[in-house]
Amino acid sequence: MLAVHLVQQSATPLRILLIDRAGTVGDGIAYATPNARHLLNVRVANMSAYDSDPDHFVRWLARSEATGMPAPSGAFVSRGLYGRYLRSTLSECLATHSGSSVIGVAAEVTRLQVEEGGVRLTTSNGDDHLVDRAALCVGNFPPALPVVPKATPLGAKRYIANPWSGALSQIGVDDTVLVVGTGLTMVDVVIDLRSRGHRGRIVAVSRRGFLPVGHREVGTYPSFLPADCLPQSVVALMRTVRREIATAAKRGIDWRAVLDALRPQTQALWRALPTAERRRFLRHLRPYWEVHRHRVAPVVSAEISTLQRAGQLVVHAGRTAGVELTDTGVVLIIRRRGETRLPLEGDWLVNCSGPQLDYERIDDPLIRTMFDAGLAKPDPLSLGLDVSDDYRLIDRDGRSSDVLFALGPPIRGGLWETTAVPDIRKQCAALAIQLCEAWRRYSAG
Ligand SMILES: Cc1cc2nc3c(=O)[nH]c(=O)nc-3n(C[C@H](O)[C@H](O)[C@H](O)COP(=O)(O)OP(=O)(O)OC[C@H]3O[C@@H](n4cnc5c(N)ncnc54)[C@H](O)[C@@H]3O)c2cc1C
């Protein structure tokens, strides 16, 4: 998406390298899935690559050979289609803006150095690429390990540490699967297993046992927070939102419409909160926010409810207190509120505990070498990388870089809502304008 916006914005031809260890363009984790039942969590009307042209994806779907038929703007189409949309948008953009080139490089960037002439990127196959500017669009990292009190042999065969690794295919259709985490990743895993004809039990556990709520067709609700006087505390924010939800309910309006009205202001709301209040939000409200804000397609929500009613999916609220792994099975010990330990037995344990956000603990060569060289540092809340308001990486000494930028999930700390397309497309457009303008000024001397 950034490449598309750069090509469109630049007055002169650009050479853009898209370096991805997966060797694909536009897929990432979200859109690489070949499972057509893995649906977008966002309506097609909100998934355009262009904030300024919100119907672009809807129009692509209507004319695309991929679907053959128009999708209503409130539809939720398969995620794999979205990767194709991004690739097609990039090709279309290159075809209409002559001169610029985009080169895909299938490799992992393991090192990044800032030099006199620009940025040197070293890849796992030993190649070096010298570029003028580099943007880290590295997405989410694999889940953190479930917190277990003692060192556990987590390399054991029956433990799937990363649900995106393809390892789910080893699971037998009658196996009992234990899942740590009850959010969007768990939902994906359940849909994946069901697509393979899974008949065995799936037992999922998280601290509160909350499941993502389903979308519902709701109208638009007017913005209700004055932009020049945003709440400065979590308590004030909560009070205002709850009052608005109650007012809306009296008029028969669903709470989802009220929360959706917050969307354009979420980043401003986050920025208005002092760091201590952001911490308070993370400690107390985050699980509620996640399940109500990041909803799933109605058909997905219905399938999860059906599985729960049938007893095939069981959800527990509790803390993981221990794991025993053998070559043939797993015992996950959980501690439910006010109760002693409850052992859960299964054939497999799948980690769906959400992406690792604490970059100090991420075992990734690129991040490690950047931290070691002082080129980047974690944000104050340890939700990602520290960046300036205009997406520049902030180095160990607090200086904003002129050549290194980051977008999307890694900049969660400064913006909070930064993982979904409606947020990312704005960042891409803004960074493209900024880079092209800087380049124009430089070229003009
Ligand atoms: C399962 C899932 C479903 C989602 N569904 C939706 C949805 O329906 N709607 C929505 O708006 N958002 C959704 N999202 C949010 C999603 O994160 C964003 O929409 C978007 O994909 C983020 O794009 P990105 O390019 O920042 O990161 P990603 O798409 O994750 O891409 C990052 C890429 O960087 C590569 N990479 C990382 N480090 C290196 C390195 N050192 N060297 C080389 N390559 C590297 C990875 O291989 C990966 O391909 C979903 C996310 C997930 C995980």
pLDDT in tens, 270-310: 999 999 999 999 999 999 999 999 999 999 999 999 999 99
* Ligand 1 contact via 29 beta carbon (within 6 Å): yes
- Which of 2, 137, 352, 375 to probe ligand 1 with, by most ligand atoms within 8 A of CB? 137
Cα gap 169→313, rounded to integer Å: 19
Residue type, 36: A
Burial label, 238 (beta-carbon count in 10 A; 0-12, 13-18, 19+):
middle
Instruction: Say if ligand 1 is within 6 A of residue 409 CB.
Output: yes
Q: Going by CA atoms, what residue is nearest to atom 30 of ligand 1?
A: 139
Sign of dihedral through CA atoms 163, 165, 166, 169? negative
Residue 146's pLDDT is 64
Rg, the chain, Cα only? 23
For atom 41 of ligand 1, which residue has the closest CA? 109
- What is the distance in A from the centroid of ligand 1 to the CA of 240? 33
Under 8 Å CB-to-CB from 229, ≥6 apart: which residues? none
Centre of ligand 1 to C-alpha 397, Å, is 29
Protein residue with least CA distance to atom 31, ligand 1 = 28
183-196 CB burial, b ≥16 within 10 A, e <16: bbbbbbbbbbbbee
41 pocket-lining for ligand 1 (C-beta < 6 Å): yes
Backbone angles phi, psi at 271, to 5 degrees: -65, -30
Distance from the alpha carbon of residue 185 to the mean position of ligand 1, in angstroms: 13
Q: Is the CB of 42 under 6 A from ligand 1?
A: yes
- Residue 253 confidence (pLDDT): 96
Cα of 138 vs centre of ligand 1, distance in Å, is 7
Which parts of the chain register pLDDT below 70?
A: 65-69, 145-156
Measured by CA distance, the residue closest to atom 19 of ligand 1 is 420
- HSE-up of residue 422 (Cα within 13 Å, Cβ side): 17
pLDDT of residue 153: 55
295, 214 contact by CB (below 8 A)? yes
Closest residue by Cα to atom 51, ligand 1, is: 30
pLDDT in tens, 77-106: 999 999 999 999 999 999 998 899 999 999
Rounded to the nearest angstrom, the distance between the alpha carbon of 384 and the centre of ligand 1 is 14
pLDDT of residue 276: 96
Alpha-helix residue ranges (DSSP H) falling in 211-332: 234-250, 255-262, 266-272, 275-280, 286-293, 298-309
* pLDDT single digits (tens) 33-80: 999 999 999 999 999 999 999 999 999 998 876 666 678 888 999 999
Please choose, from the candidates 108, 109, 114, 90, the residue with its C-alpha nearest in 3D space to the C-alpha of residue 100: 90
Q: Given this model, what pLDDT does residue 162 score?
A: 86
Ligand 1 atom 52: residue of nearest CA: 30
Q: Is 385 helix (H, G, I), strand (E, B) or coil?
A: strand
Confidence (pLDDT) at 156: 66
Q: Which residues pair with 393 in a beta bridge?
A: 387
For the chain, which domains are there? Answer: 2-141+357-443 (3.50.50.60), 159-213+295-351 (3.50.50.60), 234-293 (no CATH)
Tokens of 175: 């196996």
Q: Specify the ligand 1 atom closest to the Cα of 421.
A: 11
Q: What pLDDT is recorded for position 328?
A: 79
pLDDT at site 305: 97
Portion of the chain with pLDDT greater than 70, in percent: 96
pLDDT at 150: 47
Tell which atom from ligand 1 comes closest to the C-alpha of 47. 11
Question: Residue 165's pLDDT is what?
Answer: 85
